[in-house]
Amino acid sequence: MWLSLSNPYRWLKRSISSELSKVLSNACADPKTLTQLENIIEEPPKREFGDLSIHLARLSKLCDIPLENLTNLLTSSLEKLNLVEKVVVVGNYVNIFINYTVFSAQVLNTITSYDSRYGFIEDHVRKRVIVEYVSANPVHPLHLGSGRNAVLGDFLYRLNKFLGNEVQRRYYVNDVGLQAAFLAYGYYKLGFPDIPPSMKPDHYLGLVYAATTTIIDVLKLRKSLKEAEASGDLNKASELRSEIDSLMSDLGRLAEVIPNEVNVLAEKIASEEDPELEVLKILRGYERGEPEYLFVRRVCSRVIDGIKETLERMNTGIDVWDWESDLVWEGRVDEVLEKASSSSYFGFHKGAPALFFKNLLSTEELRKRLRIPEVLEVPPLILRRSDGTTLYTTRDIAYTLKKFREFSADEVINVIAIEQTLSQAQLRLALYALGYEKEAENLIHYSYEMVNLPGASMSGRRGRYVTVDELLKQLSEMVKNLMRERGSEVSDEQALKIARSAIKYTVLSVSPSKTLTVDLKRILDLKQNSGPYIQYTYVRARSVIEKAGNYSTGTIDYRRAGKEPIRTLILELSKFPEVISDVASSKQPEDLIAYANNLATIFNKFYESEPILREPDEGFRALKVAVTHGVLIVLRNFMEICGMDVLEKI
Partner RNA sequence: GGGCCCGUAGCUCAGCUAGGACAGAGCGCCGGCCUUCUAAGCCGGAGGUCCCGGGUUCAAAUCCCGGCGGGCCCGCCA
Q: Give, as ranges, the residues between 582 and 621 that touch RNA (CB under 7 A).
A: 586, 588, 590-591, 594, 597, 601, 604-605, 607-614
Cα distance between residue 300 and residue 286, in whole Å: 12
67 binds RNA (CB under 7 A): no
* Residue number with CB closer to RNA (256 or 649): 649
* Residue number with CB closer to RNA (536 or 551): 536
**Positive or negative, the Cα torsion across 112, 118, 124, 127?**
negative
* Binds RNA by CB under 7 A, chosen from 107, 327, 544, 573: 544
Residues 62 and 32 sit within 8 Å (Cβ to Cβ): no
Question: What's the closest the beta carbon of residue 193 comes to RNA, in angstroms?
Answer: 26
Which window, 72-80, 112-120, 405-413, 478-486, contacts RNA (CB under 7 A)?
A: 478-486
Question: What's the closest the beta carbon of residue 645 comes to RNA, in angstroms?
Answer: 12
Point out which residues pair with 87 in neighbouring strands. Answer: 96
Question: What's the closest the beta carbon of residue 156 comes to RNA, in angstroms?
Answer: 17
Residues 208 and 179 sit within 8 Å (Cβ to Cβ): no
* Residue number with CB closer to RNA (408 or 521): 521
Binding pattern for the stretch 403-432 against RNA, x by CB under 7 A and - elsewhere: ---------------xxxxxx---------
| Cβ-proximal residues to 141 (8 Å cutoff; 6+ apart), any chain | 200, 202, 203, 206, 303, 306, 307, 310, 467, 468, 469
Question: What's the closest the beta carbon of residue 535 comes to RNA, in angstroms?
Answer: 7
Angle at the Cα of 505 (from 606 to 125), degrees rounded to 5? 90
Cα distance between residue 205 and residue 306, in whole Å: 10
* Residue number with CB closer to RNA (503 or 612): 612
* Residue number with CB closer to RNA (61 or 220): 61
58 binds RNA (CB under 7 A): yes
* Binds RNA by CB under 7 A, chosen from 23, 257, 391, 584: 391
Long-range contacts of 80-88 (CB under 8 A, 24+ apart): 81/15, 81/16, 81/19, 83/12, 83/15, 83/16, 84/16, 85/562, 88/50
* Residue number with CB closer to RNA (93 or 551): 93
34 binds RNA (CB under 7 A): no
Residues 135 and 146 sit within 8 Å (Cβ to Cβ): no
Cα distance between residue 88 and residue 48, in whole Å: 11
- Site size toward RNA (CB under 7 A) is 97
Question: What's the closest the beta carbon of residue 457 comes to RNA, in angstroms?
Answer: 8
* Binds RNA by CB under 7 A, chosen from 252, 331, 379, 435: 379
49 binds RNA (CB under 7 A): yes
374 binds RNA (CB under 7 A): yes
Which window, 221-229, 343-351, 360-368, 467-475, contacts RNA (CB under 7 A)?
A: 343-351
Q: Site residues for RNA, window 546-585 (CB under 7 A)?
A: 547
Q: 39-52: buried (b, 16+ CB within 10 Å) or exposed (e) per residue? A: ebbeebeeeebbbb
* Binds RNA by CB under 7 A, chosen from 160, 393, 476, 574: 393
Question: What's the closest the beta carbon of residue 515 comes to RNA, in angstroms?
Answer: 6
Q: Site residues for RNA, window 502-531 (CB under 7 A)?
A: 509-511, 513-517, 519, 522, 525-530
Q: Which helix (H) or strand (E) holds 349?
A: strand 346-349
* Residue number with CB closer to RNA (80 or 614): 614
Which window, 142-150, 163-171, 314-322, 543-551, contacts RNA (CB under 7 A)?
A: 543-551
Residue 28: how many other CB atoms lie within 10 Å = 21
In 3D space, the residue among 415, 423, 361 whose CA is nearest the CA of residue 391 turns out to be 423
Q: Return the axis-axis angle of helices 492-509 and 144-162, rounded to nearest 10°.
A: 90
Question: What's the closest the beta carbon of residue 264 comes to RNA, in angstroms?
Answer: 25
Question: What's the closest the beta carbon of residue 140 comes to RNA, in angstroms?
Answer: 12
35 binds RNA (CB under 7 A): no
Question: What's the closest the beta carbon of residue 220 comes to RNA, in angstroms?
Answer: 12
Omega before 532 cis (within 30°)? no
* Residue number with CB closer to RNA (110 or 624): 624
Point out which residues pair with 447 in neighbouring strands. Answer: 416
Q: Site residues for RNA, window 622-641 (CB under 7 A)?
A: none
Residue type, 580: I
* Residue number with CB closer to RNA (352 or 456): 352
| Cβ-proximal residues to 178 (8 Å cutoff; 6+ apart), any chain | 279, 283
Q: Site residues for RNA, window 139-178 (CB under 7 A)?
A: 174, 177-178
Residues 262 and 209 sit within 8 Å (Cβ to Cβ): no
Cα distance between residue 231 and residue 562, in whole Å: 85
Q: Site residues for RNA, window 431-470 (CB under 7 A)?
A: 449-450
